[in-house]
Amino acid sequence: MWQGSGKFFIQLASVLLCAFEVAATARRLVVSPTTTFDVRSYGACADGITDNSQAFLGAWNAACSSSGDVMLFIPAGTYFLNPVKFTGPCSNVNTLTFYLKGKLKASTDLRLYDKGDEWIQFGHVKGLTLTGGGTFDGQGSAAWAYNQCPTKKYCHILPVSVKFMSLNDTIVYGIKSVNPKFFHFAVLGCQNFRASKMYMKAPEDSPNTDGIHITRSSGVVIHDSIIKTGDDCVSIGQNTTNVFISEITCGPGHGISIGSLGKYPDEGDVRDILIRDCYMSNTTNGVRIKTWQNSPSSSSVTNITYENIQMSNVGNPIIIDQTYCPDNLCDRDDRKVPSRVSISDVRYKAINGTSASPVAVTLNCSPGIPCQNINLENIQLNYVGGEPSTAFCAFARTRFSGPMLPLPCN
């Protein structure tokens, strides 16, 4: 049964948490660190050509080995940067502000990247703030032709622009990212990660350029940002809990997705996700949950809320797809075995606008583990083609309430 009061409490707590964190962010950003480390003092050159990775590492190491509240400062200008990892722990540092005012430009030589993993990594630090209004330029157009993931289920992954790894109490504020080789940002194994006022852009046809990918993390807030890219604006991966996404302007792109899930063994569950007050325009999907068939192990998606989402010319505005298999990457045996990812307690409320596809609501669940307690309330999605929009349901236990367009399906 749907635990209405419990769900409301979780949503209210999330909203209050976000309000508190926005206030805390504002306070923290105006604090002047006691010590500033300017990358120019360590040999950095803003000519857009010279590799500055060692100069940046020198400044980082000095800041990390300092104490109190410290700042690493990158002034205006264009700084060329080979792959670099900014890692801790910074044992005596209370807060470390990475103040990026300039533009960082990535190397296009794929041989320099360690297993194609990432261009820049922030890892194993507590109290990191990334701010300053600067830009990460992944120069992805030189690498997209080498992306094999659209044609191979298990592919060699190109470098992520910025990976946040095993961080605690992190703030990202007012940062831009353009043209990554793969994801713009990846949040991996982080606790209490807050990001807002971001701007991300890549061409609509750039492959796998997710805006923000979150996995194995908890306590994540993504707020008030603009994402225009070639894949999911935000994607939520396995073993992720307590995520609040709000006021995201998404498009072009593939919408906001949970998944894909069920591709690898021993994936963790996804639960307690609140997505609200977002606007999507000309995206291939709206709000989506996607899982692979023939999952190697069982996992679950539960307690998911989508509320007050505006759609404009969006394909598949509401979609659960438990037969996810992009570009026919699955063999016949895969297609014979249902997904082992269970989906339950999903609520869609006040989702309005226009659908680019005649089927505005698709609930295509697993025949092996049908979806449970899928609730749709006050849905108004008009098909741009003029005919009434429709809904498709398979193996989904649903409940509809309030005004509904398309009409409910069983």
Q: Residues with catalytic annotation? A: 254
Task: Round to whole Å and give the CA distance between 124 and 126.
Answer: 7
Q: What pairs with residue 86 in β-bridges? A: 122
Contact 243, 190 (CB under 8 A): no
DSSP, collapsed to helix, strand or coil, labels residue 392 as strand
Given the structure tokens 């807002």, which residue do they identify?
Answer: 196
Each residue of 110-129: b (16+ CB within 10 Å) or e?
A: eeebeebbbbbbbbbbbbbb
User: Phi/psi at 336 (nearest 5 deg)?
Assistant: -80, -20
Task: Write out the two tokens for 268.
Answer: 């963790």
β-bridge partners, 38: 73
Picking from 275, 270, 283, the residue whose alpha carbon sits closest to that of residue 316 is 283
Count CA within 13 A, CB hemisphere, residue 391. Answer: 20
What is the number of H-type helices and E-type strands within the chain? Answer: 3, 30
What CA–CA distance (Å, rounded) separates 42 from 338? Answer: 56
Quick one: which of 103, 105, 76, 251 has its CA closest to 175?
Answer: 103
Q: For residue 158, give the DSSP letter.
A: P
Distances (CA, A) of 277 to 8, 247, 249, 351: 16, 5, 9, 10
Task: For residues 300 and 277, give the distance between their C-alpha atoms in angstroms, rounded to a whole number.
Answer: 25
And the tokens for 194? 């807050």
CA angle 18, 21, 23 (to 5 degrees): 110
**Cβ 286 vs Cβ 350: under 8 Å:** no
Of residues 204, 198, 176, the one with CA closest to residue 105: 176
Whether the Cβ atoms of residue 160 and residue 130 lie closer than 8 Å to each other: no
Terminal C-alpha separation, the chain: 18
